[in-house]
Structure 1
Amino acid sequence: MKTYVSKNYTPANAWDALDIANFSGTSVRLHWTNQPYKWHINDGEEVFAVLDGTVEMHYREAGEVQSVLLNTGDIFYASIGTEHVAHPQGEARVLVIEKAGSI
């Protein structure tokens, strides 16, 4: 049993992560960031839950760039093959659930 207070997590570098759990090849990680990530495609599904802050998630759908603004409590699901990039609006903390070792 362990409790995590996400607002207390601020590592030295953007997108550093605190490993919460790893089960059956799935990782659960808490990320802090104040910088955009990079366009990427995960090698599995990904669940991206904003715990604190606001994140603009850009993704490609049928070759067109779309975006959605995620506020605290919002969740973005990226299916296999979804190219996407997260752009925090200031500081944000996000819980990411994905295949272990995914980028």
Structure 2
Amino acid sequence: MEIIRSREFTASRAWGAKEIANMGGITTRLHWTNQPYKWHINDGEEVFVVLDGTVEMRYKEDGLELSTLLTVGDIFYASIGTEHVAHPQGEARILVVEKEGSV
């Protein structure tokens, strides 16, 4: 049993993470960042939940680059093959659920 106060979590580097659980190869991690990630496609599906801060999520759909602004409580679901990149607006804390070993 563990209680995690997500707003208190920080990391020594952008996108540093605390692994919360690994359930049959599906990981749940809490990330802290103040820098963009990189364009990528996950090995499987990904659920991305903003717990603190604001994140501009850029993604590609039918060859077009689109974006949406995610705030606290918003969820971005990346299906298999969805190319995307997260750009936090200042500090952000994000819960990510994805296949173990995914980018």
Q: TM-score range by the shorter chain?
A: over 0.9
Separation (CA, whole Å) in 1 of partners of 2:38 and 2:75? 19
Shift of 1:78: 0.1
Unaligned runs of 5+ in 1: none
- How many residue pairs are counted as aligned between the two chains? 103
Separation (CA, whole Å) in 1 of partners of 2:46 and 2:68? 16
Unaligned runs of 5+ in 2: none
Determine the structure 2 residue equivalent to 1:38: 38
Question: Would you identify which runs of 4 or more consecutive aligned residues in structure 1 move more than 3 Å?
Answer: none
Determine the structure 2 residue equivalent to 1:83: 83
Determine the structure 1 residue equivalent to 2:56: 56
Amino acid at match of 2:81: G
Q: Give per-residue Cα distances to partners, 1:55-90, cap 9 Å, x unaligned.
A: 000000000000010000000000000000000000
Determine the structure 2 residue equivalent to 1:16: 16
RMSD over equivalenced CA pairs, Å: 0.4
1:74 aligns with 2:74: yes
Identical amino acids, percent of aligned pairs: 69
Determine the structure 1 residue equivalent to 2:28: 28
